[in-house]
Structure 1
Amino acid sequence: MTSTVHSRAPRPAGPQPRDDRRRALRPMVHSPPVIPRILGLVALCALASIGGAARPARGADGLHLVLTPSQKPTDLMATGEEFGKVIAQLTGIPVRVTVASDYAAVIEALRNRTADLAFVHPGGYVLASREAKARIVVRNLWHGKSSFTSRIYVRREAGLKTLEALRGKTIAFIDPASSSGYIYPMVLLIQRGLVKNRDPKTFFREVVFAGAHDAGMRALLNGHVDALASFDMAREQYLSDPAERERIVFVAETPEIPEAGIAARDGLDAATFAKVRAALLQIRAPAYAALLKRLYEIDGFAPAEDRDYDPVRAAIELLGVRPR
């Protein structure tokens, strides 16, 4: 739901609890396609590591886990450190935890090997796999499932019944690298023939990025935008008032998206990789329910393989992202 890194991120893009309402909605001011800009940023930020000394299979100081930004950084950091201690107890390996500044920074950290492990949303994992040769370790479990969908939401009172009715309206996406908040809904719009040249402005009058799923839901509820692209349980997660939930409906839904998860950097030795995976599969409800809920509102972790994310790769290819 990411990371999500929610991916829903992670709800790393899906859903992660987020407290980013203080952020203003960001207008879309770049030219399409969007994601290559992120790849360019990742490549630029990683140049310093190219040609440098390779990081050892595992550092003498233990493992570095990077969290995908979702909620208030101080709260996430405190919970993340507690989570890191659990991993350390189960593996016998010290774990240091930090919070990335944004989605691109997570990929950068995996690429330049300053991170050993990172929460990644589905789109973020595909990019990290391609750009950083990262490997998926586990997938998140959320409400007992390891997959989710994206929906395009509207206000019930607006009377908008179909995707086609959104022509000339305003929409809030979440982040250009978010699976449920941009990539999958854009693929849906392209496949329906509504968006041309991979540019949402060929269909919508105005496009903004909310930066967080809860901020996007509030923007829709308060009438700042006509539509919102977010994950399937966003309404239930972010609107506690039944009357508010009743006001929000969806006009379209995507196919299933594999859940966010945790990825390992290229070069992490096989023994450590296996030890971390085994530990993560032990961290689940009910024993760790309270910690997991505070972390990313998840239930635990499930085994994951790289091929699980092939549908996300296909979606990104349709949006025009190419390997560099």
Structure 2
Amino acid sequence: MRNFKRGLALVMGVAALFTLAACGKTSDTTKSGDLKSLTVQFVPSSNADTIQAKAKPLGKLLSKELGIPVNVSVSTDYNTIVEAMGSKKVDMGFLPPAPYTIAHKKYGVNVILQSQRFGVQKNNTGLPTTDLVNSYASDIIVRKDSGIKSIKDLKGKKIAVQDVTSDAGYIFPMVELDHKGIKPSDYTTVTVKGHDQGVLAVENKNADAAFVFNDARNLVKKDVPSIFNDTQVLYQTTPIPNDTIALRSGIDAKWQKKITDAMEAITKTKQGAQIMKDVYSWNGVTPSKDSNFDIVRKYESEANKLN
């Protein structure tokens, strides 16, 4: 298991170099914080190419609402978008909780909205509840035929994880396993890109378990209809605040409100709601504030101390 602090420092450094090389000039903004155009970036929770195609139409909807050009893209990973927002090459980012808290601390990025999703039924079907929720959990999934019956059985096993800044794919399950006496040194990890790939690693027996968001198995259900019969949730973490829509520093209050209002309006339209559902399985957005993510900071601090 990689040391969280050293691993994060490495990827943030690489991301900074990549961003400066790849993103070009800074966003078109006047000194007063007024916007002449808006750059929006997503992070991939599954196949990046698929997300790019699904997210692109959001640009036209936002441009119509705001009256300025809007460019939508997908970052290579969590850290790239943090650095891009810090250098003002990206104005608005769709950030998971941990990357958001890093961006807030490091560059003054501020949350404006938080996603809402339908909950997930606790019957190993992945089916949604009828209630919208502002949080989710991380699942540790295993194959039913793996012989892994409790978290103690994870000792000596290989676990598929996401980037070190992923809440559900790394931080929360790692910290909670440590709380229960399963140290990072007790198992090995393999990093995969996308929660769908974590699920498939377990399905295809390339990993004994995976840290994924609840219930990421729905991402592959179409291609692997047997996924819920083949696998099960071994452990589920405490709730994690839902993902954010956040703005970089330097955007004035007028534009912050306009962008917030525009995104709320768009997600209530048929087309906008479908885009959010297709990209991230969001079912709505709700106003948010920075203090909602204090639990994330607590878990980050604990993860930072683990070897």
Q: Given the two structures, how large is their TM-score scaled by the length of structure 2?
A: 0.84
Q: Give the Cα–Cα distance (whole angstroms) in 2 for the partners of residues 295 and 236 of structure 1.
A: 13
Q: State the number of aligned residues.
A: 285
Which residue identity lines up with residue 62 of structure 2 in the other structure? Answer: I
Cα drift, residue 130 of structure 1: 1.0
Match of 1:215? 197
Match of 2:298? 314
Q: 1:231 aligns with which of 213, 221, 236?
A: 213
Q: 2:226 aligns with which of 234, 243, 253?
A: 243
Residue 218 and residue 301 in structure 1: after superposition, are their counterparts in 2 closer, same or farther (change >3 A)? same
Alignment of 1:259 onto 2:232:
no
Q: Give the Cα–Cα distance (whole angstroms) in 2 for the partners of residues 236 and 74 of structure 1.
A: 18
Cα drift, residue 243 of structure 1: 3.1
Alignment of 1:153-164 (within 5 A): 153-164=141-152
Q: Which runs of 5+ in 1 are unaligned?
A: 1-27
Deviation digits for residues 210-249 of structure 1, max 9, x if unmatched? 1111111111011111111101111233224553212211
Residue 43 and residue 218 in structure 1: after superposition, are their counterparts in 2 closer, same or farther (change >3 A)? closer
Residue 159 and residue 297 in structure 1: after superposition, are their counterparts in 2 closer, same or farther (change >3 A)? same
Q: 2:255 aligns with which of 272, 287, 302?
A: 272
Match of 1:23? none
Retained in 2: the 8 A contact 1:46–1:111?
A: no
Q: Given the two structures, how large is their TM-score scaled by the length of structure 1?
A: 0.80
Retained in 1: the 8 A contact 2:39–2:72?
A: yes
More displaced stretch, 258-267 vs 62-71? 62-71
Alignment of 1:110-129 (within 5 A): 110-129=85-104
Cα drift, residue 73 of structure 1: 4.3
Cα drift, residue 297 of structure 1: 2.2
Alignment of 1:132 onto 2:116:
no
Alignment of 1:98 onto 2:73:
yes
Cα drift, residue 79 of structure 1: 3.1
Match of 2:10? 37
Q: 1:192 aligns with which of 166, 175, 180?
A: 180
Match of 2:121? none
More displaced stretch, 243-252 vs 271-280? 243-252
Cα drift, residue 42 of structure 1: 5.2
The alignment's C-alpha RMSD in Å is 2.6
More displaced stretch, 171-180 vs 73-82? 73-82
Q: Give the Cα–Cα distance (whole angstroms) in 1 for the partners of residues 34 and 74 of structure 2.
A: 19
Q: Give the Cα–Cα distance (whole angstroms) in 2 for the partners of residues 303 and 254 of structure 1.
A: 24
Retained in 2: the 8 A contact 1:285–1:299?
A: no
Deviation digits for residues 13-60 of structure 1, max 9, x if unmatched? xxxxxxxxxxxxxxx6x5554323334445666899xxx9x9635465
Retained in 2: the 8 A contact 1:42–1:104?
A: yes
**Secondary structure in 1 matching 2:258:** helix
Q: Give the Cα–Cα distance (whole angstroms) in 1 for the partners of residues 229 and 54 of structure 2.
A: 32
Q: Give the Cα–Cα distance (whole angstroms) in 1 for the partners of residues 287 and 77 of structure 2.
A: 26
Match of 1:298? 282
